[in-house]
Every structure is written in structure tokens, then in C-alpha cells.
Structure 1
């Protein structure tokens, strides 16, 4: 991840960990509801115990990473792999502080396991494990989510006058009937065409999230359950012991400032606007060492294009601008909007 500006990574993950085509099938007959009814159904969901299989597909239009044999390039390619292509993910949740996510690749598996305050990340490809202790005073110690529910929460939190909320056709996901919420931005200054959320008709649990880019024939990204059970998973799934010979590291969570933002690399981050066309900016010098390493890399010129005022990375749902004076701008907006934001600072 160090090859990308730190501020861009969360935004790319939010965009890149979403998109499965609508499942064809017989019409689903459900009681009539208004969009507000379905919003309230999703907001009132209390499901926090389940297990299932999720299919994630992404077509983000990101440039292909050339094979150079360089370790740093390979590291970045591995990180990008999680945001592109197709992946099968097994998820297990038992209450608010026990969860396990298994990303299943062809010959390897990556696991994110939370058991109370303990958070483990294990990669079988190189037999490495990282451990973090979640702070007890945060109120919510949940690990980052990978289910349609957490992704839906991200978008539903942004429902505002800038969003038109409608209902699509009733559908079926993982054998369960669902209402289809459709969120459409009321602005032309975004790359997002619409977000569709399939909401379980009984529990309100989001079962599928799709994000479509403007003028795209297929969803750019999606996460959807293909199987789902509300039975409590076995307790031993949340107990992790590093395998013999594994390289284990202890990681610390970054401290936060008074506003709740991580201190250090992303200090000085600002957000211009709100909603779909918001632009995040990082001042020059926020992480001079990382920026120098980034711009010195051969990947920098291969993954970005020269534009007025700097260089830009353009993807289906996101743009990043690095100006000649070292500032970074990112958002789900065209590069032109980032250039306008840079000119106003």
C-alpha cells in the first residue's frame, strides 16, 4: 500500500470491495414498501450472528501492474489484487466482537480474525501473521468489515439531499427475498452512477451491494452473499494460533487527534464538499519520505498520466491527483474536479 498516497487507500477499498450482476430469476412478490420503509428496515437490522460465502468482483479500470521482479512492486500488486478481479470470501460473525474473514485464493488463503481485543491477519502464502490489540476505551472494537452490511452502512450514512432514493425490482439473494434500494447521486461531479443495496425482507440485513460507474454497462464493483446462515459459528473459528515457522509481528494502531483522525502521516487532511463529489486533500510535506519514495519509483510514471499541474491516476470510480508541489487530492470524481480543488487552495 505504500506506493499509493495513504489517503487514497481507504477510498479505493470502499469503492473496490463492491459488484455482482443482478441475479436473473422468477419475480419476487413482497409486500409493498416505500423507499423510506426500506431505509428504516435496513437501519433497524440487529443481525450480528451469521456465517456465509460472499462473492466479490471488481472492474475498476486500474492499470495493470508490470512484472519487474522488484519486491516493492510485487507487494503493491498483491495489495491491488484484493481490489480487483473476483474473490470468494468466507465470513463468520458471532456478536459484535468475534469475526473471521477468509479470502480464498487459488492456492492460498488470507485470514482476518477478531476475538475480543485481539486482531490477527494471517497470509498462508508466505506464512506471516500480524497481531494488533484493539483499544478497550473506544466503545466499539469491531474489526474493519467486509460484508455487504458494512459496505451498505457506508453508503446509507451518506443519504442526504444530494441523493435520490428509489426502489428497484424485488430480488432474491442467497435464497432470501430482498428489496432493492437504489441510491442515485444528484450531481454531475461524481464518477458514481448509482449504488444498489439488496435488503433482506425479513431481517433488514443488506445481502448485496453494487456500485455502477457513470455510463457503464456492468457494475464496477460488488459484494454479495451466495450462501447465508444465521446460526452461531463454532467458537474455535475465532481462536488463532500462528502455525509453526510463521513470522509473527506485533503492530500498533495509530493514535488519533482530538477530531478522531489518525495522527502522523495523515495529519492535515481536509475534505472539501460533502457527499458524492467530496474531495480529500493532503498537504505537501505530510509524509515527505513516502512521497519521495513514491515519485522515485518506476511505477509512478507507469500508473499515472501527466496532467496540468501534476500527475493523475484515473480509475472507474476514483481519481487521484499528485500536484507538482507535492499535494495529494482524491475522490470519486473526475480528475478535472481535483485540479479545480487544487487551484483553489
Structure 2
């Protein structure tokens, strides 16, 4: 892989911005290594027994603090983020775009603390920002989203005339119907697999690409915990190992980490720093907005049973009619397998995917037959900002520009392709050149 200068980028904001956000999505999807403790000696379990133990865990009450830490290995973006608007004529839209850019970078590289509370049907998530906090309160029949910085509180509730019991009964009926249909399609004498059988099959498939083992017992948030360790069976991936801490008493997931190959510290780690499985004080679930808060009321648009049935029928008909219409659309190309998988997309396909479905479908057109309906959402960056960010995050390589974080690489080729995978950049360059 030899660096070189490339020509003008063919990518625009709709293509660049979502691709840059890929590492952020991975960061949010990963669940902290625990501290090994020689005094902790839990009953021995095989990997299969430990996975089954965790799967059977039934925790309906807890309270605690979660921390998330990430070290993606992204370049310093201080020059992009600092300064703010210097031109008095800069628009509010430009300021909003800069704010969004800052939030994105903070999300990708920052640390987060949050308090969580759970007791049956009541739950609360309290995200602690630097000078404020955001809260989500959930209880039967309603939910609140509260932002202390903007002093806004939005109450989400179910309409008084909503037939909740009828919808629950209809969903149960549909589930029974789907099960009966699945059983009818099985060969004579066979039954649907049990949860344990499904677990065994999943572990068998996982074992083909991943070594699964039980690590050293330790402690997380003052709790004795098992450690489940997953290690790729190939050295062609950036991922070194994944470790998950599982409560030794109730099977709850307490923490997890992902470490890059050859690294000493995790690239991502998140988990409880303290936790209790006793029911929290009911007061933590109560919220009553003060006079200082602007309150909004929003009713959730639950369908009637007849509407639900019609929606399902329409969805089935639409899926059948669209199957032929989408048959010729470009599809992602998958190279390799397992941890070394590389996904390749044409730039035009990426743009189409990120633009999303336009409001009102494809039936609205102007006099020239062109689609005249604007996308539901516009990119949060201007084209120039997106390209500046791309230049700051990537380096020139043979055939394009590339971004490599601790666990993910993305290649933007000069001929309009995007390749991504948990592999080194030179592996993406090789795939782009050879098509293998």
C-alpha cells in the first residue's frame, strides 16, 4: 500500500457522511473487561453452559451506573472542530451542521456515563452530559423524554381510545399462526427446535470461525463474574478478542470489551461500575415537570386491530410486487467470510441507500417525470464540510482514500466504490484491485 495523491473526490455529502458514521455505529453496538481476582472461584462451566446460563438469566430489577470508553484511533480533529463560525453572515443551518459534526466526533471518540434503573414495567435511563442530563422515563401507558439543558419535557402516551388489549390478543394470534405455519412446513416427525437446540446450533456455527472459551473469574462492580472470551480463528482481522463479563449469580451481562489484534488495551469497553439487583426506590421513576420546563404532549398512533390486519396484508402484497422490481438493483458484494469479510458497494448504491425512501413513494413526479418529493431528511453537513471531514479522517492510498480505526477500515475508491471490513486497509486495497 503506497500513499499517493488522488484526483478530485467523486463523493458527495449523502455518500460521505454515513460512511464516516460506520465506526460510530459499531461503537454503540459493542457492550469492559473485568478485574481478575484470585479470590473469586465460581463453579466451573463450559462455554456452552455459560452461554445457556446467561441466556436463562431473568433480571427484572436493577440500578447502577454504566461507563463507556472508546479508543478508536481516529486522527486529531481539533482543527476541524475548533473556532466555530467566524463570519457574521454564517447561517443558522451552518451552525447546526457544525454542532452535529461536533456531536458525531464526540460520539466516536468520547466517554459516556449513564445511570440505569429498572423495576418490572418501570425503567429510567439518565445520561449524564458535561453540564446537563437527559432522562428517559418509561412506565405502563406513557413515557417521558426530558432534556435539562433545553428545559423541555415530552410526554408520549397512548390515546384514550386505543384498544391495547385487542392489539395484544391479535399479536398473540399472529404468533400462534406463524408457529403453526412453521410446524406444518417441517418433515413428518420433526418439531421446531427448542431454545437449547437453537443455542447449540448457533455455537456450532460460531465455532467454525471463533474460538469460544471461559476466561478467568473476576469481579465487576463488586459482583463475582464469569468471563466469556471470543477469539477469531484468523489473523486476517483487526479484531483480537471480545470479552464479556457475566454475573455469577443471575447470569446478567455486566460488562464487555473489544480489543484490537496486538493491542494491550480495549478499543471499546463499557459496563457497570456499580450495580444492585434490588428494586430501586419508586421515587426514581417519578417525574413531574416544573414550571420552568416547556411541556409537549404526543399520543402514540396505535392502530386498531382492523388497521393492523390491513397493514400486514399491504406489506405482504408490497413485498411480492417489489421483489421483481428490485431484482436488477445493485447488491452489496461480499468478499471473504467470517471475521475477514469485506463488503463492497457502488457509490451510487450508497447514495441511494442513505437518501432512503422518499416521502410518498415513487408516485409523485414533476412535469418532466422526475421525482419531485424531497427526502425526509437532509444531510447535516454541507458538501464542503463533508469533504473536509473525509480528508481529515482518511489518508491517500493506491486507488483512493482510506480510513482505518482500531477495529474497522473503510476504503473510498477513485472509481466510485466503498469497501469496508474489520481488516487492515491494505486488505481492502487488494480486494478493490483484484475483486477477490
**TM-score (structure 2 length as normaliser):** 0.60
Is 2:266 aligned against 1:219?
yes
Counterparts of 1:321 and 1:79 in 2: how far apart (Å)? Answer: 20
- CA 1:182–1:279: 2 relative to 1, 3 Å: same
- CA 1:78–1:28: 2 relative to 1, 3 Å: same
CA RMSD, aligned part only? 4.3
**TM-score (structure 1 length as normaliser):** 0.74
Matched residue pairs, number?
A: 322
Match of 1:322 in 2: 412
- CA 1:333–1:158: 2 relative to 1, 3 Å: farther
1:166 equivalent among 201, 213, 226: 213
Q: Could you list the runs of 5+ residues in structure 1 that have no partner in the other structure?
A: 140-154, 260-266
Offset from partner CA, 1:28-70 (integer Å, 9 cap, x none): 1111111221121112222243221112211111223231415
Match of 1:27 in 2: 39
Deviates more, 1:183-192 or 1:305-314: 305-314
1:342 positional shift? 4.0
- CA 1:294–1:177: 2 relative to 1, 3 Å: farther
SS class of match (1:203): coil
Q: Could you list the runs of 5+ residues in structure 2 that have no partner in the other structure?
A: 1-12, 86-94, 159-166, 172-201, 301-310, 321-328, 356-377
Offset from partner CA, 1:112-139 (integer Å, 9 cap, x none): 45556866655434446778899x89x7
Q: Are the equivalent residues in 2 in contact too, given 1:16–1:58 (CA < 8 A)?
A: no
Match of 1:147 in 2: none
Hey, which of these two has a bigger chunk of helix by percent? 2
1:246 positional shift? 4.9
- CA 1:206–1:300: 2 relative to 1, 3 Å: same
Give the 5 Å matches for 1:1-345: 5-6=17-18, 9=21, 12-15=24-27, 18=30, 20-23=32-35, 25-66=37-78, 67-69=82-84, 71=95, 72-95=97-120, 98-115=122-139, 122-127=146-151, 159-233=206-280, 237=284, 244=292, 246=294, 270=332, 272=334, 274-283=337-346, 284=348, 285-286=351-352, 287=354, 290=379, 293=382, 297=386, 298-343=388-433, 344=435
Structure with higher Rg: it is 2
Deviates more, 1:18-27 or 1:105-114: 18-27
1:292 positional shift? 9.4
- CA 1:76–1:163: 2 relative to 1, 3 Å: same
- CA 1:241–1:162: 2 relative to 1, 3 Å: farther
- CA 1:301–1:83: 2 relative to 1, 3 Å: closer
Deviates more, 1:100-109 or 1:217-226: 100-109
SS class of match (1:169): coil
Q: Higher RCO, 1 or 2 (CA under 8 Å, sep at least 6)?
A: 2
Offset from partner CA, 1:198-241 (integer Å, 9 cap, x none): 11112111111011111111111111212212233456655767
SS class of match (2:264): coil
Counterparts of 2:141 and 2:427 in 1: how far apart (Å)? Answer: 41
Match of 1:145 in 2: none
Counterparts of 1:281 and 1:119 in 2: how far apart (Å)? Answer: 40
